[in-house]
Structure formats: structure tokens, C-alpha cells
Structure 1
Amino acid sequence: MKSRARRLARHSIDTTGHFQLMNILVPNNVHRDQPQLSNVDVQLLERLNQRDADPDFWSSRQRDRSDSGHRFFQYPAMMVPVVQRRLIKELIGVQSGVASIYDPFMGSGTTLVSGMHFGLSVYGTDINPLAVLISQVRTAKVIDGDVGRKLEKVVKRASADGSFVIETDIPNIDKWFKPEVAVELSRLRRAIRSIDASWARKFFWVALAETVRLAGNDRTSTYKLHVRPADEIARRDISPIVMFQSIGEGNIASLTAFREALRDANTVTGQGSYVADSRVRLLDVRGDLKERWMGKTPFDLVMTSPPYGDNHTTVTYGQHSYLPLAWIDFEDIDREADQGALSTTHEIDSRSLGGRGTLSQQDTDRLFDTSPSLKVFVESLSTASTKARNRLFRFYHDFSQSISQIAGVLRRDGYMIWTVGNRNVTGRQVPTDEILKEMLEGVRCAHVVTLSRQIHHKRMPTRNATSATMREEKILIVRKSRD
């Protein structure tokens, strides 16, 4: 093999783990002037290789929380906007015709707003209603230029409201909110409902969600629901209305800066409308994506960061969203949103990948055929880890289903960019990057390169034993070779 191919680049992981190009072999007969897809891969690899001179290029030590509306809500494990933009820029610099980007696990929409800087049509899905709401606000084609005046109206109306009626039926409300806090949150909810403009209401629901997160009795040091100590709750003196106003003003400033950046990039018209399409949906990616995105597919680029494992044992996105969602009108989010998502504090996480269900031996065997690396890892676990193995099986079974659906809505020769972390199970690190690579190869996607990045600012549950080693992420770039 070495005599018939030239090695473009191969970097082993150094002690910092900043950058890695893994076993990339390029045939000698590929020339840059040939209109071949392998040539596109070569050009992409050469561009990525040039970035190796900067060890922080993919890690980005600098942090700007106002970047592209990143500060709207402290959503778990958010991507870094500047890193996403760098990845997109490198890819569209070598592949022509990229006009759309899809993120199947969009979270708070960082990939989508990154695509907007390049004028791409952006599409996203998530199973969490709060993620959908946040992404809708950040990726709106047109925003309300009068939102500042409407914020003053909401605050004034809430401040003048003398009602003590509580506007949520959340169980154990006294556990999660002091009485005076619940009253002010209810007044804010009524005031937001008085706003006629749909996008402005969504904007204020997001501000209210962050207010709930900070004003409630839930600890903010973890994504799982844990009530603060009683003495700490007693000492807290918080006005949700005052907090809401401050958050709203900060979000308006962040949004204004983002739209100005889009205007400078010529991706917003003089009338303030985004130049391309922008749509997000509440959707389970294990379903038929082609049918749900009919008329929009195939997408040109997939860029995403999937869950690192089932939500119950890794990042509890649903628990983190439970209290904020209890104060938001679901009809303002998505027609698929249902109050059943709040039936328990665990329901959204149970609806996510690996959250529920059982697998047959046939399912397990098929899963092992899809990923030999998964089989090797499972066989290395102790026999006492039955529960952990079952959770692992459920997650990767669902993950495999979603990968098949996602590949089905990507155009032939389109690229996928996956950012993943390798979690722990019973003290052993799951080789998620290798498992993902094998699963993608099973849906006719050719591995191009794997990058590594250090996590400097991404907020991860460091107290959670299953994710304690997630200080590094892998970025897998693959190309769909055929339909």
C-alpha cells in the first residue's frame, strides 16, 4: 500500500491532543486539476493540515458569550460558534454547491447560526421543545425591530399586575420556587401572553426560561434537578421581573450584534430579512426524515454534535429544561409539542436516544455486526455491568437508526461533520468516535479525517462519572460516497 500511495498527512495525538489527522492515504494518481471527488478530499485535508500550525484553532480558548445569540439560555454542552464557522469555511472552500446545512441534534442552534454567516439555508431538529424554541428565535428569517419597546411593555405590565394567581400546575411548586418568585414569574407569563407578535413572544419565552433557571430553587451547578439547601434558599432575595429585564436587554444586545454581523456578511437584506431559508422542527430523528423534510432534501451538508450516550446517564437535557418549560406556552413552540413531555422530570430524556425500550438478541447481534468496536468494548465490561450494558445497547441501537435516517437526507457526495465525546461506562471509556465511524461506513459514508479539540468552555457535567473524561472531543468528517 505504501508503494502505491503517498501519505498526505499523519499527526499522532500529542500531549495536548489539539489536532489529529488519522491514517489518511491518498492515491498517487490523484491530481489537483482532475474533477474527482477524491481531489476534493485532498484539498480539504491540505487546508485542515495548514491549521495544524495553530494548536488552538479547533479549541478556541477565547470565549464570546454574545456571539450569534450564544448567551440566550445556558443550554447544556453548547458548541462553540467560531469553531463551527471555521469548519464550515474550510469545507465550502473546497466543495462547490453547498447551499444548505442540516443539524439533526441542533440543541440551541449553534450550528445553524454558524451556517447563517455564510448565507446557507439552515435546517434543524431536536426532540427537546426548549431547544426548538431557542433555535427558532436565534435563526429567525426576520426579527422584530421593535422588540426593545415590547420588552419595556412586558416589564411594565408585569410590574403593575396585582394578581397572585400562579400560572403553572407544576407538581411540588413550593419545592422549586419560593412563593414570591412564583408570583412574579406568573405575572411575567401573563404579560408575555399579551404580546401579539409571535416571534417577540418566543423571544420573551426564552428570556423567561433563563429567568426561571436562575430564580428557582434548583442548583445551577448541575444539569440534573437538585434542590438547593434550605438555608441557601432562605437567604436568596430575587426579583424575577428585574432579572427578566436584565436578561432581555442582554439578549437584545446579543441579537443585534449577530444581525449586524450577518448584514456585514451580506446574508441579510436591507429590509433585515435573512437571504436563505431557515426552519427548525421538534422531531425524533429515528423517524422518516425524508417524509418530514419533503421538498427540502437532500441537504448539502450535515453538521452536528449528537448525545454522548443516553441522557439519563450523561447530559440530562430534559431535566435541565423541565422547570423552564413548565412556564412556557407550548402552542408557541411547535405544533408537535405536547404537555406530555412534562409528565415527569425524566420524560424528555426518556424520549431521547436510548431512553427506553428493550432489545432482542437479534437486535444486539445486528448492532455488533454494524460496529465491531462496540462488540469488543462490550465484551471487555464485567459481567456485573448488565444494567450499564443494556443502556449502552439501547443508545447505540437508537443512534444507529438515526444515522441511517440522517444519511438518507444528505445528497450524494455531501459531507458530514460530527463532533463527539467519548464517555465512561463503569470506569472504561467508550470509543464513540470509532463506533460512529463504523456506523457511518455502514451507510455508505467514507471516512475522510478525524480532528481532536480540547474543551475549554463547553459546559459539561464534570461531577457526572460517566462524562468525567470529556475534556476532549473528536471531530469526524465523512463523505457520502453513494446513495
Structure 2
Amino acid sequence: MTVAAPRVSPSILTPQNVDEHLLQLLESKGRDTDFWSSKDRDRNDSAHSIFQYPAMMVPVVQRRLLGAILEARPDIQSVYDPFLGSGTSLVSGMHYGLNVYGNDINPLAVLISRVRTARSVDFTVGVIAEQVAETAAKDSRATIETSMVNRGKWFQEDVSLELSRLRRAIRQCDNLWVRRFLWVTLAETVRLTSNDRTSTYKLHARSAFDIAKRALSPIAVFRELARKNAASFSEFRRRLNEAKQLTSGRYVAETEVRIGDTRKTQEYWSDAAPFDLLMTSPPYGDNLTTVTYGQHSYLPLHWIDFKDIDPSADEATLRTTQEIDRRSLGGIASDDVWTEEKLFEASPRLKRFADDLPAKPADGRTRLIRFYKDFGTSLDSILDVMKPDSYMIWTVGNRNIAGKQVPTDLVLSELLEGLTCKVITTLTRRIHHKRMPDRNASSATMREEKILLIRKVRA
């Protein structure tokens, strides 16, 4: 039986007392070894499955973390995620009626998150999706609605025709949220009907033999996905309503999702910051050699109207299959706000790891340092938008380089401690369900994550 942690008297409420209370709470909850791991979970929880985005967090685990924080700090009103992904942190905050804010450099992540975190939705979207599928099925035009280079490698001609017809039908819808919902459904349709293998996040075309065996109808796939997605979303909103987080069908607090580079966070959150709480799962290395979020998004984004994602969404991100990943942390050499000397001074563990790396792969050390330079710049920027004494929940994985595991959690702890932050505790979460890129040698042995609870110390 779980024993409730003693409450802290408001008259003696200090940051140190809240820290101690949180530790007691987390310890009492963690006596169940699967509490932070969630062996049994609902894949449709909070519209989690509307698109198979890489390395998604588990909604129920994030809600449990939030619940513990809010029990100790009921004054918290906002949660921020600077590495948004599919929006799991934000929808978790919505269950508690929090103001939720997040950004990501990937346009597809922004699209998915805007659908999930919308304050108002159209509950007839399932019916509308059926009408879109019917319109597409009746469309006999042979015009292909994408100009992507090398399209024939990734799509059979009849697949391209049906995707084009779906795209034209979606454009006819008047409601922006409805179109965004339909674009996300189309994105998953593209993922399932392209010639790309789905066993890895990196783009990898199927063999000609496999492609010839496949008989696919994107319209049929879209229709089935839309039914499931509409039902999943309806259930999510029903749960929000039961939790009294909706008023006349509208979410009670603020939601805001923006396209943006986390290295420049303070430039575009000045109107909403500072934030009370951070909850995020950052990349654990450069995307090109770890989780290729950009490559995974490349094919779907070619079929989506960028103007419906965001006016600032840059179609040049589709210049190559690797462009989004190149623009992400550690993707290309950038201005050295954090020099190697500064980085190693802040994290001796990172220096020891870098110095012990073998000569091969030849670029292993370079990529490691390049990523952490960018990550350090991101930390500076993130802390600028967080309130003094705000808590931060970082869920991180430890990647491999040349068979050696990068101590990501320890490096992050050192970097943040050097930026006037205090590490309260570190939890371990076993990965039961999280889909990882098993064929990627840099992460093949990652079967657990670390959850760091950090407080930004008041200057």
C-alpha cells in the first residue's frame, strides 16, 4: 500500500522544504517498481497514437510526475516543453488545467502538437474525414500534388495518385483545426503506404521485390486511420471534460505551440515567459546518428500544406532528407557560444568520456562535442524563460558511441549545476513500450531512461 507523504505547512514553505517534500512523495510512489515505467498502458491515451512519432514519452508516466510536482507546488500554473515532439508533456499538463507551451524545430512535430493541444475542436471531424475520403475516391484527376525530388523511389504511382486526391479533398475543408487533424492523419497514411521501411526511423527504401508485392490504397488506409484517430481524440476530450478542464467544450487554460530553435528560446517566448515548470525529453545526441526525427518526417511533410502548419514554417527544411536533422542540435558546426574548454570545465564527466573514446568512428568525438556545445547554448536559453525556483523534469536516454554509453544524465546534471541549478533526484524508468530505433547502433542497447528532477536556484 502506498503511504502518503506528509504535507508541508504553508507557514514553513521554503524551496528546501518543497524539495524534501517532493523527495518523500517520489520515494513513496516509487515503491511500486513499475510506477515510473508503466508496463500496462493505453496506446490511445490522450490521442497519443494519431501519428507514430519517434521515441514518444508515455502520457500516464508524465501525468504521474506532474501530479507529484503539483501536490508539492500547487501554485504552478504553466508547463513548458522546449523539445516538443508529439506534444505529450503538453497534453499531460492539460489534464491538470495548466497553461501549456512548447516549441520544436520540426514542422511535423508542431503540426501534431497543435492538433492535440487545441483549445477548441470539431467533434464532427470523423464525419468530415469520411466525406474527404469519399471526395478523394470520386476524384479522377491524374495531377500529382507534390513536387518532391525522386518521388518514384518512395511512392508507387497509384499511391501518389490517391495521396494527391486526398490532399485536394483536405484543402476544401474550411476549418483550420479540422484540416490540421486531417493532415496528421494523411501523414500517418503516407508513412504506411510509402516505399520506406517502417522498421527504422531512417529512410530506407524497400526492395523492388517487396514493393511489387504491395497492393495499397491510401484512401482506404486514410479512412480507417481517421476513424481511429477521431475516436481517440473524442475520448481524450471526454476525459478532459470529466476532469472539469473544459468549459462549453473549450479548454480552460492557454495552449501555445510554436516553431522554433531551442537555442534561441528567449527570442520568441518573451510574451509568455517566465514559465513555472519545465517537462521535456531532449535529444540525446545529434539526430543524424541517433533518432532521425527529420528523416522520419520528410516523406509526410511533402504532402502537407505548410501554410496550415504555421506561417513561419520553412519549406526549405525539405531541401534534402537530412535538412531538418542538420538544423537540429549538433547537426552542423555553429557559432561556439560554448567552447570546448567551457564545456569540459562545466562537465568533467563529459571530458573523461570524450578523452576515452577510441579513434573509430573518426567523427565520434567531433559529433559528441558539437552536440553538447549546442545543448549548452540551449540550456542557457531555456533557463532564461524559467522562473526562479521553478522545477524542471528532464527525461533522458544514454546513447552509445563506439560501444561506450554516454552518461547523458550525469553530464546534464553537471551542466545544470554549473548554471545555478540544483539536482533534487534522479529516477530510473524501464522502457517497456517506447519504440526505439533498434537498428541504430548508437542506441541499440538503450532499455532505460533517467528522469532528472532539477530546480532552478534563485539567484
- TM-score category (smaller protein): over 0.9
| Letter of the structure 2 residue corresponding to residue 105 of structure 1 | F
**1:381, CA displacement in angstroms?**
1.1
Q: Aligned to 1:53, what secondary structure does the other structure show?
A: coil
**1:357, CA displacement in angstroms?**
0.8
Residues 362 and 60 (structure 1 numbering): CA distance in 2 closer, same or farther, change over 3 Å? closer
User: Residue 62 of structure 1: which of 10, 33, 40 is its match?
Assistant: 40
1:328 corresponds to: 304
2:223 corresponds to: 245
1:111 matched to 2:85? The reply is: no
**1:361, CA displacement in angstroms?**
12
1:311 matched to 2:287? The reply is: yes
**Structure 1 CA distance, aligned partners of 2:239 and 2:419?**
37
2:30 corresponds to: 52
1:170 corresponds to: 148
User: Residue 263 of structure 2: which of 286, 293, 296 is its match?
Assistant: 286
Any residues of structure 2 matched to 1:284-433 within 5 Å, and which? 284-287=261-264, 289-357=265-333, 363-433=339-409
Residues 46 and 32 (structure 1 numbering): CA distance in 2 closer, same or farther, change over 3 Å? farther
CA deviation string 1:299-339 (max 9, x = no partner): 00000000010000000000000000000000000122111
**1:150, CA displacement in angstroms?**
1.4
**1:362, CA displacement in angstroms?**
8.1
**Structure 1 CA distance, aligned partners of 2:266 and 2:315?**
26
1:208 matched to 2:186? The reply is: yes
Contact kept in structure 2, 1:359 and 1:394, CA below 8 Å: no
Q: Aligned to 1:465, what secondary structure does the other structure show?
A: coil
CA deviation string 1:53-73 (max 9, x = no partner): 211000000121110000100
1:92 matched to 2:70? The reply is: yes
| Letter of the structure 2 residue corresponding to residue 317 of structure 1 | Y
Any residues of structure 2 matched to 1:430-441 within 5 Å, and which? 430-441=406-417
Residues 413 and 184 (structure 1 numbering): CA distance in 2 closer, same or farther, change over 3 Å? same
Q: Aligned to 2:53, what secondary structure does the other structure show?
A: coil
Q: Aligned to 2:30, what secondary structure does the other structure show?
A: helix
CA deviation string 1:157-187 (max 9, x = no partner): 1011000110001111111111100000000
TM-score (norm 1): 0.92
CA deviation string 1:14-43 (max 9, x = no partner): xxxxxxxxxxxxxxxx99962221100111
**Structure 2 CA distance, aligned partners of 1:86 and 1:362?**
35
In structure 1, list runs of 5 or more residues that go unmatched: 1-29
**Structure 1 CA distance, aligned partners of 2:103 and 2:136?**
33
Q: Aligned to 2:12, what secondary structure does the other structure show?
A: coil
**1:230, CA displacement in angstroms?**
1.1
| Letter of the structure 2 residue corresponding to residue 324 of structure 1 | P
**Structure 2 CA distance, aligned partners of 1:37 and 1:339?**
45
**1:221, CA displacement in angstroms?**
0.3
**1:51, CA displacement in angstroms?**
1.6
Q: Aligned to 1:417, what secondary structure does the other structure show?
A: strand
**1:427, CA displacement in angstroms?**
0.8
**1:268, CA displacement in angstroms?**
0.6
Contact kept in structure 2, 1:32 and 1:39, CA below 8 Å: no
Residues 361 and 477 (structure 1 numbering): CA distance in 2 closer, same or farther, change over 3 Å? closer
Higher alpha-carbon deviation: 45-54 or 76-85? 45-54
**Structure 2 CA distance, aligned partners of 1:398 and 1:260?**
40
Q: Aligned to 2:206, what secondary structure does the other structure show?
A: coil
Q: Aligned to 1:466, what secondary structure does the other structure show?
A: coil
**Structure 1 CA distance, aligned partners of 2:344 and 2:9?**
38
**Structure 1 CA distance, aligned partners of 2:319 and 2:162?**
24
Q: Which segments of structure 1 move beyond 3 Å, counting only runs of 4 or more?
A: 30-33, 358-362, 383-386
**Structure 2 CA distance, aligned partners of 1:136 and 1:244?**
20
**Structure 1 CA distance, aligned partners of 2:71 and 2:118?**
26
**Structure 2 CA distance, aligned partners of 1:241 and 1:449?**
49
Contact kept in structure 2, 1:31 and 1:39, CA below 8 Å: no
| Letter of the structure 1 residue corresponding to residue 249 of structure 2 | G
Q: Aligned to 1:280, what secondary structure does the other structure show?
A: strand
| Letter of the structure 2 residue corresponding to residue 322 of structure 1 | Y
Residues 32 and 200 (structure 1 numbering): CA distance in 2 closer, same or farther, change over 3 Å? closer
**1:265, CA displacement in angstroms?**
0.6
Higher alpha-carbon deviation: 369-378 or 300-309? 369-378
| Letter of the structure 1 residue corresponding to residue 194 of structure 2 | G
Contact kept in structure 1, 2:83 and 2:281, CA below 8 Å: yes
1:262 corresponds to: 240
Q: Cα RMSD (Å) of the superposition?
A: 1.5
1:274 corresponds to: 251
2:160 corresponds to: 182
2:441 corresponds to: 465
Aligned length: 452
1:4 corresponds to: none
CA deviation string 1:131-178 (max 9, x = no partner): 000000000000012212211221111011000110001111111111
**1:118, CA displacement in angstroms?**
0.1
**Structure 2 CA distance, aligned partners of 1:359 and 1:297?**
26
Contact kept in structure 2, 1:85 and 1:114, CA below 8 Å: yes
Contact kept in structure 1, 2:30 and 2:36, CA below 8 Å: no
**Structure 2 CA distance, aligned partners of 1:33 and 1:401?**
38
Contact kept in structure 2, 1:359 and 1:393, CA below 8 Å: no
User: Residue 37 of structure 1: which of 4, 15, 21 is its match?
Assistant: 15
1:231 matched to 2:209? The reply is: yes
Q: Aligned to 1:311, what secondary structure does the other structure show?
A: coil
Higher alpha-carbon deviation: 348-357 or 146-155? 146-155
| Letter of the structure 2 residue corresponding to residue 114 of structure 1 | S
